[in-house]
Amino acid sequence: MKARHSLRRDPGVAAFPLPTGRGFLTMDFPIFDGHNDSLSRLSPYTPETIAGFFSPNMRGHLDLPRARAGGMGGGLFSLYVPADPALAEDGKMEIVRMPDGSDVRLAAALDPAYALQVALAMLAGVFRLEAAAKGQVRVARTIADLRACMQAGALAWVIHFEGADAIDPQLNALEVFHQAGLRSLGIVWSRPTVFGHGVPFCHPHTPDTGPGLTDAGRALVRECNRLGIMLDVSHLNEKGFWDLAEVTDAPIVATHSAVHAICPAARNLTDQQLDAIRASDGLVGLNLEVTTLRPDGQDDPDTPLELIVRHMDYLVEHLGIDRVGLGSDFDGGTMPLALGDAAGLPKVLMQLRQHGYDEAALRKLAFENWLRVLERTWRE
C-alpha cells in the first residue's frame, strides 16, 4: 500500500533517534509497544532479576538496553498470573467441547485467592523495579505521564493485567488496582474467569469457542469504562467480544492480535470483529508472534518479516491508518528470527517503509495511534 498522509509531528514528543550502522533506519520518534510479557518474565522479583533488566543479556526478548536500542519509548507491560505450580499438570488444563463439536485442551480457571496473591506480589515487584531504575523507567498513569517519559527519554510502563483472574466479582480489587496504576485489562487470558471465557490456542479454528460474558463480566466492562481502564479483547472469545461491544462506551482495543483471514487461529480477529473495532474508533496492536502470523499456524521462527507487512496491510485496509499499532508479544511467544527481540523493532518499520508507508504513516503506527486511543479511554 502507498500511504497518503501529510507529515504531522507531535510537539509533545522529543526527537528519538534509532540506532544506525546495522541497516536500521534513523527516525525521530519512539515506538509504543501494545503488549509484552517482560515484567511477568522477571517474577519473582529478586535482586538478580531486577539487576538483569538493566544489563545487556540474552534472556527473553526485552530489557532496558534492548528497549533503548530498538527505540521503544513505552508500552503496555503485562502482568500475567501463571497456573499454580502446586497443582498437578492435569489440574491445570481442562478438556472443553467447542461449539463445532471438537474437544480442545483449555487452561483451567485459577483459584481466586492464589491469583490475587500472585498479582499483588508481581505488582509490588514492578514498583521495586521502578525504584531501582532511578528515573530510567516510570509507571505511566496518565497521558501527561506518557508524554513526559518520552520527552525525558525514560521508558514508560503502562500496567496491564492479562486476565482478570485476581479481581473479585464485587470489583473491590479493581478499584485498588486502578489506584495502584492499572490502566489496561484483558477480561480473560485463554482460560475462563468469573467474567468470561478465553479462546484456546487452536488452528485452524474460529474464535467462536464458548459462552459470552457473564453478568459479572458486563458489570466489569461498565466499571472499567467509569474508571478509565482500557479493555483488551485479544484473548476473549467471539461471543464475549460481541457482548463487550454491546456494553462498552469506550473504543474496542485488541492489544496483540492479528488477522484471522490470513492466519485462521482462534486468537485472531475476523473481518466482522475488525468492522466493530473500526466503528468504535478503536485499535488493533499487531502481534509479531509467529503462530499468530503464519497461515499454517506453526511455531516456526523462520518466519519472514514480509508476513508482518501482509497483516499490517490488511489491518490498515480494514481499519484505516489511524487504528493500527504494534503489540509485539515479546516474552510471550516465538518471534521471527529476522526480528529477534526488542532491539530489532526498527526492522519492522524498515520493512513497512520499503513497502511504501511514508513517515507520517509510520509515526501513527509506531506510537501516535496508541496515544490517541489511550487518551480517549483514560479518565484524567
Report the CATH number at residue 319.
3.20.20.140
* CA 320/CA 263 separation, integer angstroms: 20
pTM: 0.92
* CA 317/CA 175 separation, integer angstroms: 38
* Centroid of chain to Cα 34: 4
Residue 265 lies in a domain: yes
Whole-angstrom CA distances from 197 to 98, 194, 267, 268, 334 are: 12, 8, 12, 15, 24
**Contact of 104 with 98, CB cutoff 8 Å:** yes
Residue 17 lies in a domain: no
Q: What is the pLDDT of residue 318?
A: 98
Residue 24 lies in a domain: no
Q: Which of 120, 136, 129 is nearest to 180 (CA)?
A: 120
Q: Which of 34, 28, 13, 23 is nearest to 71 (CA)?
A: 28
**Contact of 259 with 228, CB cutoff 8 Å:** no
Q: Which helix H or strand E contains 331, and what residues bound it?
A: none
219-270 tens-digit pLDDT: 999 999 999 999 999 999 999 999 999 999 999 999 999 999 999 999 999 9
DSSP state of 198: B
Residues whose CB falls within 8 Å of the CB of residue 131, separated by 6 or more in sequence, listed in order: none
Longest dimension (CA), the chain: 57
Higher pLDDT, 318 or 11: 318
**Contact of 61 with 337, CB cutoff 8 Å:** no
* CA 78/CA 34 separation, integer angstroms: 9
Residue 1 lies in a domain: no
Residue 18 lies in a domain: no
* Number of domains present in the structure of the chain: 1
271-313 tens-digit pLDDT: 999 999 999 999 999 999 999 999 999 999 999 999 999 999 9
Whole-angstrom CA distances from 257 to 99, 164, 189 are: 22, 18, 13
* CA 298/CA 91 separation, integer angstroms: 27
**Set of cell numbers at residue 349:** 518499520
Residue 191 lies in a domain: yes
Mean of the per-residue pLDDT values for the chain?
91
304-358 tens-digit pLDDT: 999 999 999 999 999 999 999 999 999 999 999 999 999 999 999 999 999 999 9
Domain that holds residue 46: 31-377
